[in-house]
Structure 1
Amino acid sequence: MTTIKIGGVPEHFNLAWYLTLKNGEYKKEGINLRWQDYAEGTGAMCKALRNNDIDLAVILTEGIIKDIVEGNPSKIVQTFVQSPLIWGIHVAQDSNYKTIEDIRGQKAAISRFGSGSHLMAYINAENHQWNIDKDLNFEIVNNLDGAVEVLTSGKADYFLWEKFTTKPLVDDHIFRRIGNCPTPWPCFVIAVTEKALNNNFKELKSILNIINNTTIEFKNIPSIDKTISNRYGQQLEDVQQWLSLTEWSQHNIDELTFSTIQQKLLEVKIIKSTLKYHDIFVNI
């Protein structure tokens, strides 16, 4: 039995992994797949990949591309979720901020530098023609609980996070959403360390085959909307809307899409240099 370690956020996007693990599908192939939750998100997973604490990660596209450009010895082997991630822009419920323009120059809560919440603050700033050098300020909060604490206390002013994950906080009048910021590209990819690619290529191929067979049919799983609603504490109608908007993928990102992503990251000064397609992507 070969042990493979995988990381991902503990959110509804990754339920397919939980289901295949629960069903013992990897063990049938001689693979002991060990899942590790990373509530801190992309920045923490990039660090874990660099340290070989995990072998692969289900991770935000823009975050892992940035980190590979900056030296992370990993490769993207597949798109996991093809559709954009819809980031909600949140303020505290009792905040005086009502519009996106109101938060210009205010402090953004981010899980960590290099995280999705950090990178998307740049994308949001560019979308509204802010001055990236002057209008962005950050407070590191580690995770969603940390964001609740700093927005409530006033240590930070706004927070970008996936809108359906934060919807219960909006429903409970802890956060108020003042806008959305979709990623202009597929949102989640599967990244693998070069060490794992060299040592466990066959096992990685089996893992991808298993998860892809599940995501192809994910929306047709009986009562999947109720399962997600119960497991993640979300309203059934919100889950149904999310399912209608979300498309999984079993293929890698094409070169044109990658070029668009990398150019955007360069424009907003998230990266300072670029790589070629084959430096970042490999097919298993």
Structure 2
Amino acid sequence: MTTIKIVGVPEHFNLPWLLCLENDEFEAENIDLQWTNVPEGTGKMCQMLRDKETDIAVILTEGIVKDIIAGNPSKIVQVYVQSPLIWGIHVAANSKYKKLSDLENTKPAISRLGSGSHLMSIVNANNENWKTDNLKFEIVNTIDGAVEALTNQTADYFMWERFMTKPLVDKGIFRKIASCPTPWPCFVIAVREEILEKDPNIIDKILKIINNTTSEFKEIPSINKTLSLKYNLKIKDIEEWLSLTEWSQDQLSEKMLNKVQNQLFELSIIDKKVTFEAVVR
């Protein structure tokens, strides 16, 4: 039995992995796949790859591209979710800010530096023609930290996947004032290079198993109810999310990698661009 450690966010996107684990599909291939939820998100998972605390990460595209360019010894082996991530832009329910333009020169809460919430707050500011070099951030680690920061006014707004934050909007804790979709596929699967060199066949088997599940995921009977119960989301929200979400079984294209790199470079999130081979297996 080969032990492989994998991390991902505790969100609806990753239910296919949990289903495969529940069904012992990896075990059947002599793989002990050990899943760990990382609520802190992409910045934390990048660090875990660097520190050899995990072998695989299901991770935001822009975050891992940035970190590989910065020296993370990992490679993208596949796109996991092809559709964009729709980031909700949230303020505290009683905030004085009513529309997106009100947030210029205010402070975003982010989970940590290098996270999706960090990078996408820069992308969003650029989209709105705000000065991105003026941005100051409040690091909050998790969504619970963001609730605290917005409630206590140590930060002004928070960007997070809009369906996962919908319960906070429904409870009257957050108010969503806008959305900002990523201009690229949202999640990829990244693997440490050491593991790719040592166990390439194991990684291929893992990808085959997860791809079989994601390709049929929407057809699983009552999957909307399963997702609703597990992630505390309303059925109508889950159904909308399912209609917008497309999983992938393909590799990231060179054209798409260049699009990501060009935008990150333009925003000074990365200080150089690298070859396709440096990032993608």
Task: Report if TM-score (shorter chain) is over 0.5.
Answer: yes
Question: For 1:266, what is the secondary structure of its paired residue?
Answer: helix
Render the CA deviation track for 1:62-118: whole Å, top value 9, x for unaligned: 000000000000000000000000000000000000111111111100000000000
- The amino acid across from 2:20 in the alignment is T
Q: State the secondary structure of the residue aligned to 1:217.
A: helix
Matches within 5 A, 1:163-242: 163-242=162-241
Partner Cα separation in structure 2 for residue 122 and residue 240 of structure 1: 30
User: What CA distance in whole angstroms lies between the structure 2 residues aligned with 1:247 and 1:49?
Assistant: 26
* In structure 2, C-alpha distance between the alignment counterparts of 1:72 and 1:38, rounded to whole Å: 18
Q: CA RMSD for the aligned pairs?
A: 0.5
> Given the alignment of the two structures, is residue 251 of structure 1 paired with residue 250 of structure 2, yes or no?
yes
Normalising to structure 2: TM-score of the pair? Answer: 0.99
Q: Which moved more, 1:18-27 or 1:197-206?
A: 197-206
Distance in 2, matches of 1:110 and 1:251, equals 30
Report the equivalent of 2:94.
Answer: 94
CA distance in 2, matches of 1:154, 1:129: 24
What is the Cα deviation at residue 202 of structure 1?
1.1
Name the aligned partner's letter for residue 93 of structure 1.
Answer: A
Cα drift, residue 5 of structure 1: 0.1
Q: Give how far 1:200 is off.
A: 1.3
Q: For residue 199 of structure 1, report the CA deviation from its aligned partner.
A: 1.3
Equivalent in the alignment of 1:48 = 48
User: Is 2:30 the counterpart of 1:30?
Assistant: yes
What does residue range 127-166 of structure 1 map to in structure 2 within 5 Å? 127-134=127-134, 136-166=135-165
1:10 is aligned to 10
Q: Which runs of 5+ in 2 are unaligned?
A: none
Q: Tell me the distance in 2 between the aligned counterparts of 1:263 and 1:91.
A: 30
Gaps of 5+ in 1: none
Pair 1:39 & 2:44 matched: no
* Superposed counterparts of 1:53-64, under 5 Å: 53-64=53-64
The separation in 2 between residues aligned to 1:199 and 1:140, in whole angstroms, is 36
Give me the whole-angstrom Cα distance separating, in 2, the residues matched to 1:70 and 1:144: 26
1:126 and 1:185 map into 2 onto residues whose CA distance is 16
Question: What's the offset of the Cα at 1:133?
Answer: 1.2
Deviation at 1:132, TM superposition (A): 0.9
Q: Aligned equivalents of 1:25 and 1:216: distance in 2?
A: 15
Residue 234 of structure 1 aligns to which amino acid in structure 2?
L
Counterpart-to-counterpart distance in 1, 2:256 and 2:70: 20
3-state SS of 1:234 partner:
coil
**SS state at 2:3 partner:** strand
Give the whole-Å Cα distance in 1 for the aligned partners of 2:51 and 2:194.
Answer: 11
- Output the CA distance in 1 between the equivalents of 2:60 and 2:132: 22
Q: Which amino acid aligns with 1:256?
A: K
Secondary structure of the residue aligned to 1:272 is coil
Does residue 68 (structure 1) correspond to residue 68 (structure 2)? The answer is: yes
Cα deviation for residue 257 of structure 1 reads: 0.9
The alpha-carbon deviation at position 224 of structure 1 amounts to: 0.2
Q: Which residue of 1 aligns with 2:272?
A: 273
Using the alignment, how far apart are the partners of 1:167 and 1:38 within structure 2? 20
The DSSP-based 3-state class of the residue aligned with 1:165 is: coil
Quote the sequence identity (%).
58
1:111 is matched by which residue type in structure 2? Answer: S
| CA deviation profile, 1:126-183 (whole Å, cap 9, x unmatched) | 100001112x110000010000000001110000000000000000000000000000
Give the TM-score normalised by structure 1: 0.98
Distance 2:237 2:78 in 1: 27
Q: Deviation above 2 Å: which 4+ runs of structure 1? A: none
| Count of residue correspondences | 281
Please state whether the residue corresponding to 1:48 is helix, strand or coil.
helix
